[in-house]
Structure 1
Amino acid sequence: MALYQLPTGTYTTRAAFAVTGGSFLDKRSFAATAVLIHHPQGDLLIDAGFGENVAAHIAMLARMERAPYERRSTAAQQLEAAGYDQARLRGVLVTHVHWDHVSGLDSLHVPVWINKDELRYGTEDSHGAVFRSVSRGLDIHEYTFDAMPYLGFPASFDVYGDGSVVVALAAGHTSGSVVVLVTLPSGSRYAFIGDLTWQMDGITRGAERPWLMRRLADVDPGTVRQGLRRSIALSRAFQIVPSHDVGAYDSIPPLPTHFPGEAG
């Protein structure tokens, strides 16, 4: 079992719009990075990053949501270049369906792993327009949370049944947004917290999004605040990875030049 990062690009915003107390002069690069979970029972991507048609996807956003961006190779292109056997890929597990997490679905012909509340959000909310476009024709693998809380989060789903990858319901940012908690055989533990915070400032100094951005970006800012506090508590045992903090991925290796083959 292993993790690999697939950085597909970045976009730029000012810290004043990202975290409370951020400077307007401080420009932040927001990551659009997919993460491959390589597991003996089959692999999953966490989110999809930018796709081949990212320019068209950005054009679908409200003007105030658009930002300068730089595109790298898509997740699909990186997998192909590494000689990865895409028959191993069981699907893309989305933390939530905002455009910068799902754009790359346009070139990944695999199922979308999603829960019912997030699927409803993606189907009905105006912020789901890109998701509706890129998921058209893809299989939807709808997973169900059991009744068990997990590390303070109210419900969870054990992907492989071995505790190595657990999806925990966070909600708040979107209706069914999730945290993905990964434990590697080495004992290293990662918490991919989606957009509970956009930058590590949310973990290191408890900085929420600015008031206006909470109103615009979150369906329930109070629930996001609870999820952020849980994530801060987890940081004693987990490497916390906010989806859009470039540096948060530093300890995760990129795909090897030649991906190791594996039978089964």
Structure 2
Amino acid sequence: MDTKIHIWHTGSVYIDKSLAFNEKSWHPVPYTGWFRGKSKKIWVPVSTYLIEHPKGKVLIDTGWHEDIRVNQKKHLGRFTYSMFRGKLPKGQSIKEKIDALGIETKDLDYVVLTHLHSDHVSGLKHVSNAKNILTSELEWQAAQKDLGYIKTMWKDVPINTFHLNTIPFGPYKKGYDLFGDETIYLVFTPGHSKGQMSILVSTTKGWILLASDVGYAARSWKEYILPGLMVDKQAAQKSLKWVQEFSRRKDCYRVIANHDPSIREEILHNINKGGLKV
């Protein structure tokens, strides 16, 4: 069985440019978008990924919940709504994407949450009956006490956590070998949040790195531009530097940021020892 990676856009988010690409400004918190005009704002995709692996189906993040179409101020809360806006066209929710594929959410072996910010976990209740929902222990702990999280998005959802183990990859060589066979690694890449993980998938062509929000686009690591929202700048620098260095490796096939407008929806799959085909 081939490993397939479905790249999906589960809506988009309207953010200040400085959230994606950190900038020097007189404004104390420009990433909030407060008192900044439309010229400073951009729409970027909210990506999710379904990995169909020989050992199971793995969903990475969940995008926006369909409630975003109805009353997003209530869904996001007034504070978050003052900074961001969401958009979820018909057919783009994670539930609709999975239904269109002809599988059921209960057949998902893992839902991996790279971190618990709203645009990554909003749609979680659409897949709450998955077999195993995972996030890092550090991220879970941060989400219980720190600002920037909306706990109602995972209320009554059974989320499991994992300890960081020693792995061959990442800025800290810490993470989790999902299947225990070195084919999918959850790589500890903190900075944007305390427990953020990136995902490494082994393919016949090389590694595919799903870099979450370590950077918001390919230019982030090519030009070394940090995201505007960081809980630990030093860790964010170290994580982005690792992504930059990993992207130059001969065995790295592709690096994909979650919110990169240049990334289109597609399916990557192995066809033979010659590599990947779209």
Contact preservation (8 Å) 1:169, 1:177:
yes
2:249 corresponds to 1:247:
no
Using a 3 Å threshold, how does the CA distance of structure 1 residues 238 and 164 change in structure 2: closer, same or farther? same
2:227 corresponds to 1:225:
no
Using a 3 Å threshold, how does the CA distance of structure 1 residues 235 and 206 change in structure 2: closer, same or farther? same
Using a 3 Å threshold, how does the CA distance of structure 1 residues 152 and 171 change in structure 2: closer, same or farther? closer
What code does the residue aligned with 2:215 have?
T
SS in 1 for 2:185: strand
After TM superposition, give the deviation of residue 189 of structure 1 in Å. Answer: 2.2
Q: Distance in 2 between matches of 1:70 and 1:76?
A: 12
After TM superposition, give the deviation of residue 121 of structure 1 in Å. Answer: 1.2
- What are the within-5 Å matches in structure 2 for residues 137-216 of structure 1? 137-184=156-203, 186-209=204-227, 213=228
- Of 134, 138, 143, 1:122 maps to 143
Unpaired segments ≥5 residues, structure 1: 256-264
SS in 2 for 1:65: coil
What code does the residue aligned with 1:118 have?
E
After TM superposition, give the deviation of residue 141 of structure 1 in Å. Answer: 2.0
- Root mean square deviation, CA, Å: 2.5
Aligned partner of 1:33 in structure 2 is 47
What code does the residue aligned with 2:65 have?
G
Using a 3 Å threshold, how does the CA distance of structure 1 residues 35 and 156 change in structure 2: closer, same or farther? same
After TM superposition, give the deviation of residue 74 of structure 1 in Å. Answer: 0.9
Aligned partner of 1:113 in structure 2 is 134
Using a 3 Å threshold, how does the CA distance of structure 1 residues 57 and 151 change in structure 2: closer, same or farther? same
Unpaired segments ≥5 residues, structure 2: 25-37, 270-278
Q: Work out the number of aligned pairs and report it.
A: 245
Post-superposition CA distance 1:198-247 (Å, at most 9, x none): 222212211223xxx3xxx2110111011001001111224111111132
Aligned partner of 2:27 in structure 1 is none
After TM superposition, give the deviation of residue 89 of structure 1 in Å. Answer: 0.3
SS in 2 for 1:127: coil
2:57 corresponds to 1:43:
yes
Post-superposition CA distance 1:22-41 (Å, at most 9, x none): 9x847533211210011122
Normalising to structure 2: TM-score of the pair? 0.79
Using the aligned pairs only, state the percent identity. 20
Using a 3 Å threshold, how does the CA distance of structure 1 residues 156 and 18 change in structure 2: closer, same or farther? closer
- Of 13, 16, 23, 2:15 maps to 13
Q: Distance in 1 between matches of 2:13 and 2:67?
A: 15
Contact preservation (8 Å) 1:50, 1:71:
no
Q: Distance in 2 between matches of 1:134 and 1:25?
A: 31
